Amino acid sequence: MSTSEDVSPRRIGVIGGGITGISTAHFLRKDGHDVTVFDPGDPGTGTSSGNSGVISTGSVVPTATPDILLRVPKMLLDPYGPLSVRWRYLLRIAPWLLSLVRNGMPDRIEANAKAKAALLDHAYDAYRVMLADTGTSGFVREIGTMAVWESDAAWQNAQWTIDLMRTCERKFDLLSEDDIRQMEPGLQPIFKHGYFVPGNGAISHPGDLVTALHADFIAQGGTIVKQPVDRIERIDGAARRLVTGDTAHDFDILVISAGAWSNNFLKQIGHSVLLDAERGYHIMLPQPEPGLNRPILIAQDTMFMSPMAHGMRLTTGVELAGTEAPPDYTRARRMVSRAARAVRNLDETEQSAWLGFRPSTPTSVPILGAAPGEKNVFCAFGGGHIGMTLGPISGRVTADLVAGRDPGIDLSRYAVSR
């Protein structure tokens, strides 16, 4: 690609104001562009607000696993299993599921993990820059995260993920039972195996962080339109108009960063990718004493326990039901008793419950870069389980592309037509 930089100010419309859209808006505005973000939602309530709050540079393992076809029926039958499907949605998600199964082939798992790793290698640096620029560094503690297992058998089953992390050169330390007790005295003494990822970070309140990023963007001269974009239109062949209700907004450049809703916009300009919502839930609980020092993955129950500024957040589950079906908190609530088995003195009184929509591709590799055949439309979505981590790097890369700067990352793996 060209490396001749061109930061002449342009009018840019960004669809979606989650972590990806607001990070993109930040880096574009920093380059001097006139940026407008469209989002009807409250930044403190969407998917980027209710997650586990982990900046997870170690998370290379894709959703598709080698034994996925065997595991899925077992997961669906287990009332505590991590996966649920609304059967009426099965037909709609069938192509995505078939691709997920195909991506469970060992060579694909490794290729997809490496593609994630190549982006994750730059993720923390982009975060640090954005947090420093916006005065929000206080939201993030660089304290690492931990994953723990109770049984020898489950730990053995997880060895392929440990091997994959090694293959992808992730830095982590294996933990003994004693290490776990010393590092996390707030855990029940039932965990025999684990690992610690020192390079991961913890966000104390993701919703407040995204809200603060919105406030900073406005303070720096950015515009936020709190309305949904209905459609993209072409002017003289170029896709550069966004329509909200009866109003047309014309731009030089558009960015599609509408999370799980992004494919609607890609389709309007003649393209499509396999993207669906992996729905996930959280339950907020009171902070226990002594509490946890960092977010911890309770691996056998596939739930994260994240100590946050406003309580203990239990995040769990993948539900395949699209973006329209109402929430069903049954399984998430069921997991509270499991959480109490894992964390000492946990008060099981629910403070609030929440549903979010991971924007997921079946490869677990995000979409990032120019839309095919379009000079002025860029895509930044599909972060899936690590979208909170990838927001700032996706924004930095998009700003580089708009400016004609080399992003320093081979983007072919993240292309719409990969």
Ligand X SMILES: Cc1cc2nc3c(=O)[nH]c(=O)nc-3n(C[C@H](O)[C@H](O)[C@H](O)COP(=O)(O)OP(=O)(O)OC[C@H]3O[C@@H](n4cnc5c(N)ncnc54)[C@H](O)[C@@H]3O)c2cc1C
Q: Site residues (CB under 6 A) for ligand X?
A: 15-21, 38-41, 46-48, 51-54, 56, 228-229, 257-261, 280, 282, 315, 356-359, 381, 383-389, 391
Going by their DSSP bridges, the two strands 247-250 and 367-370 should be labelled as: unpaired
Nearer to ligand X, 6 or 285 (CB): 285
CB of 277 to ligand X, least distance (A): 9
Nearer to ligand X, 217 or 381 (CB): 381
CB of 359 to ligand X, least distance (A): 5
Vertex 275 angle, CA 272 and 281, to 5° = 155
Nearer to ligand X, 2 or 81 (CB): 81
Nearer to ligand X, 359 or 369 (CB): 359
Nearer to ligand X, 17 or 194 (CB): 17
CB of 272 to ligand X, least distance (A): 16
Q: What is the 3-state secondary structure (H, E, C) of 61-111?
A: CCCCCCCHHHHHHHHHHCCCCCEEECHHHHHHHHHHHHHHHHCCCHHHHHH
The residue among 344, 60, 72, 397 whose CA lies nearest residue 190 is 344
Nearer to ligand X, 70 or 334 (CB): 334
Nearer to ligand X, 228 or 327 (CB): 228
Q: Which residue is nearest to ligand X (CB)?
A: 387
Which residue bears the tokens 């798992």? 109
* 253 SS3 class: strand
CB of 382 to ligand X, least distance (A): 8
Dihedral (C-alpha) 48, 18, 57, 220: value to the nearest 10 degrees? -120
Q: In sequence order, what DSSP letters do the residues of 316-338 get, joined into one string?
A: EEEEESTTTSPP--HHHHHHHHH
CB of 329 to ligand X, least distance (A): 12
> How many CB atoms are located within 10 Å of the residue 265 CB?
25
CB of 16 to ligand X, least distance (A): 3
- Rounded CA Rg of the chain: 21
Q: CA-to-CA distance for 42 and 359, rounded, in angstroms?
A: 18
Q: Which amino acid is at 16?
A: G
CB of 152 to ligand X, least distance (A): 27
In degrees and rounded to multiples of 5, residue 240 shows phi and psi of -150, 20
Q: CA-to-CA distance for 333 and 175, rounded, in angstroms?
A: 30
Nearer to ligand X, 48 or 300 (CB): 48
CB of 8 to ligand X, least distance (A): 26
Q: Which two tokens stand for residue 182?
A: 């010393």
